[in-house]
Structure 1
Amino acid sequence: MASSSGTKDVGPQRSMSRRMTKMASMVEAGDENTAVDSETVPSSLASIAPILRVANEIELENPRVAYLCRFHAFEKAHRMDPTSSGRGVRQFKTYLLHRLEKEEREAEHVLAKNDPKEIQKYYQNFCEKNIREGQYTKKPEEIAKIYQIATVLYDVLRTVVPSSKVDHETQRYAKDVEEKKEQNEHYNILPLYAVGVEPEIMKLPEIKAALRAIRNVVGLPSFLMPKEKERPVNDILEWLAMVFGFQKEKSSWL
């Protein structure tokens, strides 16, 4: 926390301390003996859980950026429920505030002398190491997780760094992530592609095995075609389409 006397803070560090002081008035003092894990997010604040997961993920590598992620999560939680009226929200926010006060004092800069430069350098290093280099060595599910982390980091970065101070290198990485992250997202249905690059998920052994099973079903009744010719079908989805049909607007999913 910023001191009211003695040494003088400079630049963004002082601004962050003022924001911490303001945050203390957002919640009432809670029971400090009640342990609340930062991942135990109240259901009404579920959208901040990914931010806290990223903070936990990068904690050992860069505690200062992890602190900035939790700070962003707290501010977002307060905007979502400024009166802390949701179930468990006041307790959660009080715990998180105490943790932030401690981390602001103890989490040191690793790559730069202030928060805007610290998070930009970390973001650039993360993208270079995990996306540029990792795309040739990491599994599809690992790449999907990396893109999720990179997206959260950039969201946090934009709250710390004024838009006019986001350097060209950071913007270049952010644009690259935005363009490619959809290709590496988790699916609950298989993506349709006819031409172009095969989505990474389609290369997974379990997906290939599932497709082989769908397309090689033995014993499906044949169809009587014109001139009384029988047409055998082994693809279960094709067979279902021929028997029952599919709604026109849904057929592009198959």
Structure 2
Amino acid sequence: MSRAEDLWERLVRAALRRERIGTDALGRPVSGIAGNVPSSLANNRDIDAILRAADEIQDEDPNVSRILCEHAYSLAQNLDPNSEGRGVLQFKTGLMSVIKQKLAKREGGVIDRSQDIARLQEFYKLYREKNNVDKLREEEMKLRESSVVSGNLGELERKTVTRKKVFATLKILGSVLEQLAKEIPEELRSVIEADAALTEDLIAYNIIPFDGQTTTNAIVALPEVQAAVSALKYFHGLPNLPEDFPVPATRSADMLDFLQFVFGFQKDNVYNQREHIVHLLANEQSQLGIPDEIEPKLDEAAVQKVFLKSLENYINWCSYLCIQPVWSNLEAVGKEKMLLFVSLYFLIWGEASNIRFLPECLCYIFHNMVREMDEILRRPVAQPANSCNSVNGVSFLDQVITPLYVVVAAEAVNNNNGQAPHSAWRNYDDFNEYFWSLHCFELSWPWRQSSPFFQKPPPRTKYLLKTAGSKRCGKTSFVEHRTFLHLYHSFHRLWIFLVMMFQGLAIIAFNEQHFGEKMYREILSLGPTFVVMKFFESTFLYCAICYCVKN
């Protein structure tokens, strides 16, 4: 190879390396094919991870890198055979170009793809040996536990990053190997499973890693956290989940898994609210000052405090409407049932989107979903809730929140960017005030979407919102009509003061400041002036109310 070709090869390798890192020569972010997997591919996370692993091992074994790229291409092809998704055709073309470049660099002609699985298995073993996987984690733990950690944080960070990178690559190699190979030697399979068990901190989490066992996270070792996690576990009164319901092998099923299956809550929402509830319970438990036990248990006082704080608005809503809450007697509600109610309420809130601005609407949803859940609890096996079930599957977001969001969004469009009259559209307060009366139960459960409450307004209407002769539900309480007379109505006390002050000062001025009997009689005329102005104010208010009721 000539010197020019050697320099060109080095330049290309440097550019590819910077592209993998994500920055160019000036430190600005750039993106390669591994970072441009189209969002329309449902399994884009796996494809992206495979391509990143292929870039990582390109210098070590280009042939294995080619195998990973071809597997990523086959995944993309299976997910979208006709390249109908946005950016899928460009992605496939670019990926195929990369594969052809890898093939062109090979010497020796045709590739025997029948040996790909054997190459992948052999590379897995060599990669483990080269990176000394068996000692990699032990060295990191020793360094973390040693007394010199505080003075050697750079070395600790370097080893942690190295370990995560190695185990992430091994995880991808093992996953691809399991998908391609019909049979894997038992010895290699046990090694792959052992390596996969050490990748728990590669799973994304916020503060508490629920879906992976960890030895480096100190929070999970706190007794109050352990007690809170244990309290959320599946209890005897819950129906059995179907066998095909996915639960991570690193933890057992809990009541949030039950709610996810029944009502179709989103996976990430369930994960976030599980952590949220654990933090709330752990905080209350820690404030009680209970001595540590061998098996930490959550105190009922902590559960009751979280329950009352979380459902305070629902309790007040039931009291305002003079209806019975979903429990007949609060003292008879057990700890597990309280946690189930709290979990359901937070899952509703977490997925409510803009409907969170309608707190009493959330109370209505919670009230009906608990009643629906009580019927499911009587069955031996959990069943999807009718209110969230459809031909497309079980989804709380699609069946409960979306109908509300659509009508709220349609009304928001009607406000003409804030310039439309207050009476021309329903805002958040109008929607929420609808649930301040027993009329809200006319919406039934599941939603009766033929109700006037769900009727959308004509787009960009310039007319006032009239309920008479219309199927739509109008304003629920006070309707403000903007007129110039509001300038008087809003400051009527000031106008009365100014008029009476002007009259009094004029009387004093025209009497040339002679305080006699005549001036006192004229000053008494301020009384009739006040009565006339108050009568005018009352008449204006009466006319305004009649106009609002009429419209």
TM tier, smaller: 0.5 to 0.7
Q: Secondary structure at the match of 1:163?
A: coil
| Residue of structure 1 in register with 2:135 after alignment | 133
Q: Secondary structure at the match of 2:198?
A: helix
User: For the residues of structure 1 that align with 2:94 and 2:85, how far apart are their CA atoms?
Assistant: 15
- Of 123, 148, 170, which aligns to 2:168? 148
Rate the CA distance shift 1:144–1:200 in 2: closer, same or farther, 3 A: farther
User: For the residues of structure 1 that align with 2:106 and 2:136, how far apart are their CA atoms?
Assistant: 28
- Of 278, 281, 287, which aligns to 1:239? 287
Q: Which moved more, 1:124-133 or 1:97-106?
A: 124-133
1:14-35 CA deviation, whole Å, 9 max, x = no partner? Answer: xxxxxxxxxxxxxxxxxxxxxx
Rate the CA distance shift 1:91–1:142 in 2: closer, same or farther, 3 A: same
1:191-231 CA deviation, whole Å, 9 max, x = no partner? Answer: 47xxxxx823325xxx79xx9xxxxxxxxxxxxxxxxxxxx
User: For the residues of structure 2 that align with 1:144 and 1:188, how far apart are their CA atoms?
Assistant: 17
| Contact 1:67 1:103 survives alignment (8 Å) | yes
In structure 1, what residue type is equivalent to 2:192? A
User: Greater CA radius of gyration, 1 or 2?
Assistant: 2
Rate the CA distance shift 1:106–1:188 in 2: closer, same or farther, 3 A: same
- Of 163, 180, 189, which aligns to 2:198? 180
1:59-138 to 2 correspondences below 5 Å: 59-107=58-106, 114-128=115-129, 129-138=131-140
Q: Which moved more, 1:149-158 or 1:81-90?
A: 149-158
Kindly state the Cα deviation for residue 142 of structure 1 after the two structures are TM-superposed: 4.3
| Residue of structure 2 in register with 1:53 after alignment | 52
| Contact 1:140 1:201 survives alignment (8 Å) | no
1:73-100 CA deviation, whole Å, 9 max, x = no partner? Answer: 0000011110001111101101111221
User: For the residues of structure 1 that align with 2:164 and 2:98, how far apart are their CA atoms?
Assistant: 29
| Residue of structure 2 in register with 1:224 after alignment | none
Identity rate of aligned residues, in percent?
30
In structure 2, what residue type is equivalent to 1:41? V
User: For the residues of structure 1 that align with 2:135 and 2:162, how far apart are their CA atoms?
Assistant: 13
Rate the CA distance shift 1:73–1:130 in 2: closer, same or farther, 3 A: farther
In structure 1, what residue type is equivalent to 2:216? I
User: For the residues of structure 1 that align with 2:74 and 2:304, how far apart are their CA atoms?
Assistant: 55
- Of 42, 60, 80, which aligns to 2:38? 42
In structure 1, what residue type is equivalent to 2:116? D
Rate the CA distance shift 1:182–1:44 in 2: closer, same or farther, 3 A: same
| Contact 1:154 1:174 survives alignment (8 Å) | yes
| Contact 1:140 1:200 survives alignment (8 Å) | no
Kindly state the Cα deviation for residue 71 of structure 1 after the two structures are TM-superposed: 0.7
Structure 1 length normalisation: TM-score? 0.58
Rate the CA distance shift 1:80–1:108 in 2: closer, same or farther, 3 A: farther
| Contact 2:168 2:202 survives alignment (8 Å) | no
User: For the residues of structure 1 that align with 2:283 and 2:193, how far apart are their CA atoms?
Assistant: 40
User: For the residues of structure 2 that align with 1:242 and 1:115, how far apart are their CA atoms?
Assistant: 56
User: For the residues of structure 2 that align with 1:180 and 1:101, how far apart are their CA atoms?
Assistant: 35
User: For the residues of structure 2 that align with 1:108 and 1:170, how far apart are their CA atoms?
Assistant: 30
User: For the residues of structure 2 that align with 1:102 and 1:78, how far apart are their CA atoms?
Assistant: 20
User: For the residues of structure 2 that align with 1:186 and 1:141, how far apart are their CA atoms?
Assistant: 15
Kindly state the Cα deviation for residue 140 of structure 1 after the two structures are TM-superposed: 4.6
| Contact 1:130 1:146 survives alignment (8 Å) | no
User: For the residues of structure 1 that align with 2:205 and 2:162, how far apart are their CA atoms?
Assistant: 14
| Residue of structure 2 in register with 1:201 after alignment | 216
User: For the residues of structure 2 that align with 1:154 and 1:175, how far apart are their CA atoms?
Assistant: 9
Kindly state the Cα deviation for residue 106 of structure 1 after the two structures are TM-superposed: 2.1
CA RMSD of aligned residues (A): 3.5
Q: Which moved more, 1:68-77 or 1:58-67?
A: 58-67
Kindly state the Cα deviation for residue 42 of structure 1 after the two structures are TM-superposed: 1.1
| Contact 1:59 1:66 survives alignment (8 Å) | yes
Kindly state the Cα deviation for residue 145 of structure 1 after the two structures are TM-superposed: 3.9
In structure 2, what residue type is equivalent to 1:153? L
Q: Secondary structure at the match of 1:152?
A: helix
| Residue of structure 2 in register with 1:248 after alignment | 339
Structure 2 length normalisation: TM-score? 0.29
| Contact 1:144 1:185 survives alignment (8 Å) | no
Number of corresponding residues: 179
Rate the CA distance shift 1:86–1:184 in 2: closer, same or farther, 3 A: closer
Rate the CA distance shift 1:101–1:87 in 2: closer, same or farther, 3 A: same
User: For the residues of structure 2 that align with 1:42 and 1:183, how far apart are their CA atoms?
Assistant: 26
| Residue of structure 1 in register with 2:253 after alignment | none
Tell me which of the two structures has the higher relative contact order, counting C-alpha pairs closer than 8 angstroms and 6 or more residues apart. 1
Give unmatched runs, 5+ long, in structure 2. Answer: 1-30, 109-113, 141-158, 223-281, 289-301, 308-337, 344-551
